Amino acid sequence: MGSEGPKAVTIHINGFKKFQGIAENPTETVVNNLKAYVERRGLPAGVTLGSCTVLEAAGDGALPTLLKTLESSISQTNTNNEQVIWIHLGVNSGSSKFALERQAVNEATFLCPDQLGWQPQQIPVVLEDGGISRSRQTSLSTEAILKFLKKKGFDVVISDDAGRFVCNYVYYHSLRFAEQKGHKSLFVHVPLFSTIDEDTQMQFVATLFEAVASTC
């Protein structure tokens, strides 16, 4: 029997627009500039950059757009030997490091209204999943990704708390969708550009692609 060839990897990525207290969201800039950046830099063999999407920083009101974006990755998948990976970038204005989020919880508790005015308190992200204590974990090896990124010189940590705001809301839906479709999903929190500059963050995301692909 012949062995299968290496699995092709398609990575889709999203960032967010501005929201309360964050006039310039670095993830919007990174995602908007990413295609041109990786065209210059190149990607590892077998890795393709799929969609680059910037979402409204909102929960329930932006859910149809999020689900449509996730669904679009299915129509772009051509072979059974292709691994689809979703990377979600969100900003943590109080952090000085990159953070790989290991899980999301089924709870929406927004300390301030999202950009569409929604402010849920202790309600399930997905009602059918039961109570707010339910969590979902990424199937990617955050430990292996962390090790890869640290070897490249980036200041990265693993986090088990993505908050209860829009980032966690989107991540929970993405992890649920990924489990249903056989995809993989990872949320990464990044600092503000005033803490880690734009060029370093662009390098980080390109290296993150390498790290993620190396674990598949």
Structure tokens at 122: 């202790």
What residues have CB less than 8 Å from 163, skipping those under 6 apart? Answer: none
Place of tokens 């995809």: 183
Cα 186 from Cα 206, distance rounded (Å): 15
The catalytic position among 52, 112, 167, 216 is: 167
Place of tokens 């310039």: 24
Structure tokens at 144: 């292996």
Residue type, 209: F
Of 106, 99, 77, the residue nearest 173 (C-alpha): 106
Structure tokens at 158: 């693993």
Residue type, 60: D
Known catalytic residue at 112: no
Q: How many CB atoms lie within 10 A of CB 77?
A: 16
User: Given its phi and psi angles, is residue 59 left (phi above 0), alpha (psi -120 to 50 degrees) or beta?
Assistant: alpha
Residues annotated as catalytic are: 167
